[in-house]
Amino acid sequence: MLNSELAAQLRLAFDDDRDADTFLMRLDRYGPELVASLRAVYGDRTEDLLDTLIPVLLHAFHTRPADLRRLDEARLLRPDWLQGPDVVGYVAYTDRFAGTLRGVGEHLDYLQGLGVTYLHLMPLLRPRDGENDGGYAVQDYRAVRDDLGTMDDLSALARDLRGRGISLVLDLVLNHVAQEHEWAARARAGDPAYRDYFYLYPDRTQPDAFERTLPEVFPDFAPGNFTWNGDAQAWVWTTFNTYQWDLNWSNPAVFREFVDIILHLANRGVEVFRLDAIAFIWKRLGTDSQNQPEVHWLTRALRACARIVAPAVAFKAEAIVAPADLIHYLGTGDHHGRVSDMAYHNSLMVQIWSSLASRDVRLMTAALRAFPPKPTNTTWGMYVRCHDDIGWAISDADAARVGVNGAGHRHFLSDFYSGEFPGSFARGLVFQYNPQTGDRRISGSGASLAGLEAALDAGNPTWTEHAVRRILLSHAVILGFGGVPLLYMGDELAMLNDYTYADTPEHAADNRWVHRPRMDWPSAGAVQADPSTPAAQVNAGLRHLIEVRKTLPHLHASVESEALDSPDPCVLLLRRDHPAGRFLGVYNFSEHRIQFPSYALRDHVGEFALDHLTGSGFSLYRPTITLDPFRALWLTPTHMTI
């Protein structure tokens, strides 16, 4: 990208030769990638876009705080900072965790004590008033929600987190803005420049053509994909809700705006951006307008801009899509390892719940084995629960591999986790039933879905013990998988469904708020006093899992977990081949005590193995080993004799 003339011109923008050298070296490194990515999307409009983009990069570089520049240099020296086994994530709503941003700062001892190094605060940029899709209808990307604090509070919190080795993670909504956003207001007022920021159609001709192949995201309360707006005198593309206007990323000005937003927030201390609804940002007639090739070119271009100005920043793709599509968000072919640094492993979460319900891991094994390998410089984000519903993303092809009917199994899971299936331990709610497809997603907290709510209501100690073990087993899987385990706020205390969500008018129509309770700080304080409670048992178990994880280099995310065939359908085997040695995760997904054949372990870890979770050794020359209900083992070979 750089020639001597351009380099000389850019050097004039700097007072310090060292700063000039840094910027120009980064531009020389990532500039060609930026130009190629933009040209793949914008063609002959690329040069004009670059003319307006370079000043944005220069301004952000000049205004980047000194401590963040030091972080940039540290991350350049350790590019795998997001991949180590010491990385543990925590996900929370600011107001529900601590009231305000300053309140979060008062609970950093708690987070640090839990072992957290990555804090994702759910949408906190200023949303529209009233219904706002949980904060994902952003009205102003440069302001914090009024009741949470100010941008200065956000910067102060980020600085305090950095001081404790905790990275701040924020959502960046890329596909749409609130209809009250300044861009949308100018579009409604007739400004042609801003009308081109959106998809506006004077009649139904184009919307009807697109609708022929577009799915509905929220068929219950936001059917269709277009909304008539009288002020704009146009049909507006609104994939998610009528008040969320989809952005037109085919307009280079939209790309430039988001580069400016990303770098502004990065300079406020945001270290990881969760790229919300990234799969939807490019529209193409005759398709479902998801996962289009331009999405990956655009993400790669955004990443190149961030690398030039703020290389400490990482991207996490929120792409809840099929595995064959998901891998592209981490990079394949020419994009290999050059798109997002991290992506959600939604399939792992779905398969955990599927296996708990069926007591059968064969489908999970088949699904995990079908995943293409990811780039070694990227990482998965794994989770047992999140803020969202559970959609049963189980493919017919994976189901067929193990002789299961995909549609029938998805129906079973919806029945099971809504509590309709006979003998179900779960307490969940059906979310967004689609009568045309039969699709029923599920809302519910991890503990309620794992059976704790039903067990406590029944006063059944055995059921309670099983529920606690299910919760810990599920977290053992994500903590032992390799990548960034993401703990959802309250799961470390086995918090149950919060049915009072219906008392809040703007939440009443969205039952996902049943698993978005306020943090139970009294319970958090009491877990040490009474270790017999389910909350205390889960909390102690999770803390132990995290402590052990941090000692195991085998869990570095550059290495993938390989699902192995298991001689028992209840037992999941996950192997990791790391230079430090082999690691074998063994997980009993049933409430039964299993006599598991030793050869199935001996073939991978030898005659003697150490279980790092208990510190116990196993002699695997014996015919079987005993796996207690919901038992997890983290095994490595050892030369010790038993």
Q: Is residue 189 part of a domain?
A: yes
Q: What are phi and psi of 147, to 5 degrees?
A: -75, -10
Give tens-digit pLDDT for 271-303.
999 999 999 999 999 999 999 999 999 999 999
Is the separation of the CB atoms in 475 and 433 below 8 Å? no
Answer whether residue 362 shows pLDDT above 90: yes
Tally of domains within the chain: 1
- 520 included as an active-site residue: no
Higher pLDDT: 550 or 435? It is 550
Q: Is residue 78 part of a domain?
A: no
Answer whether residue 514 shows pLDDT above 60: yes
Q: Summarize the confidence of residues 41-62 as an average pLDDT.
A: 97
Tell me the C-alpha to C-alpha distance, in Å, between residue 526 and each of 148, 258, 309, 469, 531: 27, 44, 45, 20, 9
Q: Is residue 192 part of a domain?
A: yes
Local confidence band at 247 (pLDDT 50, 70, 90 cut-offs): very high
pLDDT given for residue 528 in this prediction: 81
In the block, tokens 């092809």 appear at 397
Q: Is residue 333 part of a domain?
A: no
Q: In a 10 Å sphere around its CB, with 0-12 CB exposed, 13-18 middle and 19+ buried, how is residue 529 labelled?
A: exposed
Q: Summarize the confidence of residues 232-245 as an average pLDDT.
A: 97
Q: How far is the C-alpha of 45 from the C-alpha of 59, rounded, in Å?
A: 22
Residue from 33, 260, 276, 360 carrying the catalytic annotation: 276
Which of 583, 577, 572, 567 has the alpha carbon at shortest distance from 632?
Answer: 572
Is the separation of the CB atoms in 317 and 275 below 8 Å? yes
Which of 462, 399, 406 has the alpha carbon at shortest distance from 591?
Answer: 462
User: Is the sign of the CA dihedral 280, 282, 287, 293 positive or negative?
Assistant: negative
Is the separation of the CB atoms in 180 and 126 below 8 Å? no
Q: Is residue 200 part of a domain?
A: yes
Identify the CATH number of the domain in which residue 188 sits: 3.90.400.10
Domain with 229, as residue range(s), is 182-246
Strand bridging mode 594-597 / 624-627 = antiparallel
pLDDT given for residue 322 in this prediction: 84
pLDDT given for residue 288 in this prediction: 97
Q: What is residue 346's three-state secondary structure?
A: helix
Give tens-digit pLDDT for 178-228.
999 999 999 999 999 999 999 999 999 999 999 999 998 887 777 889 999
Q: How far is the C-alpha of 50 from the C-alpha of 258, rounded, in Å?
A: 14
The per-residue pLDDT of the chain, averaged, comes to 96
Q: Is residue 568 part of a domain?
A: no
Strand bridging mode 244-246 / 176-178 = antiparallel
Local confidence band at 74 (pLDDT 50, 70, 90 cut-offs): very high
Local confidence band at 642 (pLDDT 50, 70, 90 cut-offs): very low
Query: Bridge-partner residues for 439, per DSSP?
Result: 434
CB atoms within 10 A of CB 391: 16
- 318 included as an active-site residue: yes
Give tens-digit pLDDT for 313-338.
999 999 988 888 999 999 999 999 99
Give tens-digit pLDDT for 565-624.
999 999 999 999 999 999 999 999 999 999 999 999 999 999 999 999 999 999 999 999
Give tens-digit pLDDT for 477-511.
999 999 999 999 999 999 999 999 999 988 898 99
pLDDT given for residue 49 in this prediction: 98
Answer whether residue 462 shows pLDDT above 60: yes
90, amino acid identity: Y
- pTM summary value: 0.96
pLDDT given for residue 9 in this prediction: 87
Q: Is residue 229 part of a domain?
A: yes
Answer whether residue 641 shows pLDDT above 80: no
pLDDT given for residue 1 in this prediction: 66
Is the separation of the CB atoms in 225 and 237 below 8 Å? yes
* In the chain, % of residues over pLDDT 70: 99
Q: Is residue 498 part of a domain?
A: no
Residue from 72, 180, 246, 318 carrying the catalytic annotation: 318
